Homo-oligomer: A and B are copies of this chain.
Amino acid sequence: MDLTAVLSDRIKTVDTTLDKALDIGEQEKLKKAMRHLPLSGGKRLRPVLAMVVADAVGGQGKKAIPFGLCLEIIHNFTLVHDDIMDRDAMRRGIKTVHVEFDEPTAINAGDVLFARGFEVLTTLDVKPEILMILVREVAEMVRYIGEGQQSDMDFEKRVDTTEEEYMKMIEQKTSLMFKMAARGGAMIAGGTKGQIDALTEYGRLLGLGFQLWDDVLALTADQAKLGKSVGNDIRRGKRTLIVVHAFNNLTKEDKEKLSKVLGKENATKKEVDETIELLKEYGSIEYAKNTAQRFAAKAKDLLAVLKESEHKKILLEMAEYAVRREK
Q: Is A59 an interface residue (CB 8 A)?
A: no
Whose C-beta in chain B lies nearest to the C-beta of A128?
Answer: B128
A136 contact set on B, CB distance < 8 A = 118-119, 122
> What's the number of copies of this chain in the assembled complex?
2
**Chain B positions within 8 Å of A135 at CB level:** 118, 121-122, 135
Contact residues in B for A153 (Cβ distance below 8 Å): 104-105
With contact pairs A122-B135, A135-B135 given, residues A85 and B104 touching in the complex (Cβ less than 8 Å): yes
Q: Is A29 an interface residue (CB 8 A)?
A: yes
A107 pairs with B132, CB closer than 8 A? no
Q: How far is the CB of A35 from chain B (nearest CB, A)?
A: 14
Q: Is A310 an interface residue (CB 8 A)?
A: no
For A120, give the chain B residue with the smallest CB separation. Answer: B139
Q: Give the secondary structure class of A's interface.
A: helix
Q: Is A249 an interface residue (CB 8 A)?
A: no
Residue of B nearest to A119 (CB): B139
Residues of B contacting A27 in the complex (Cβ-Cβ under 8 angstroms): 147, 150-151, 154
Q: Which of A132-152 contact B (CB under 8 A)?
A: 132, 135-136, 138-143, 146-147, 149-151
Query: Scoring A residues 73 to 114 as 1 if CB is less than 8 Å from chain B, else 0, what string do you get?
Result: 000001001001110000000000000000111011111101
Q: Using a CB–CB distance below 8 Å, which chain A residues touch chain B?
A: 24-27, 29-30, 78, 81, 84-86, 103-105, 107-112, 114-119, 121-122, 127-129, 131-132, 135-136, 138-143, 146-147, 149-151, 153-154
Residue pairs across A and B with Cβ atoms less than 8 A apart, 14 shown, are: A27-B151, A85-B103, A85-B104, A105-B153, A112-B142, A112-B143, A112-B146, A114-B114, A118-B118, A118-B138, A119-B136, A122-B135, A122-B136, A127-B128
Q: Which 9 residue pairs spanning A and B have beta carbons closest together?
A: A128-B128, A85-B104, A118-B139, A115-B142, A112-B146, A122-B136, A115-B143, A30-B150, A119-B139
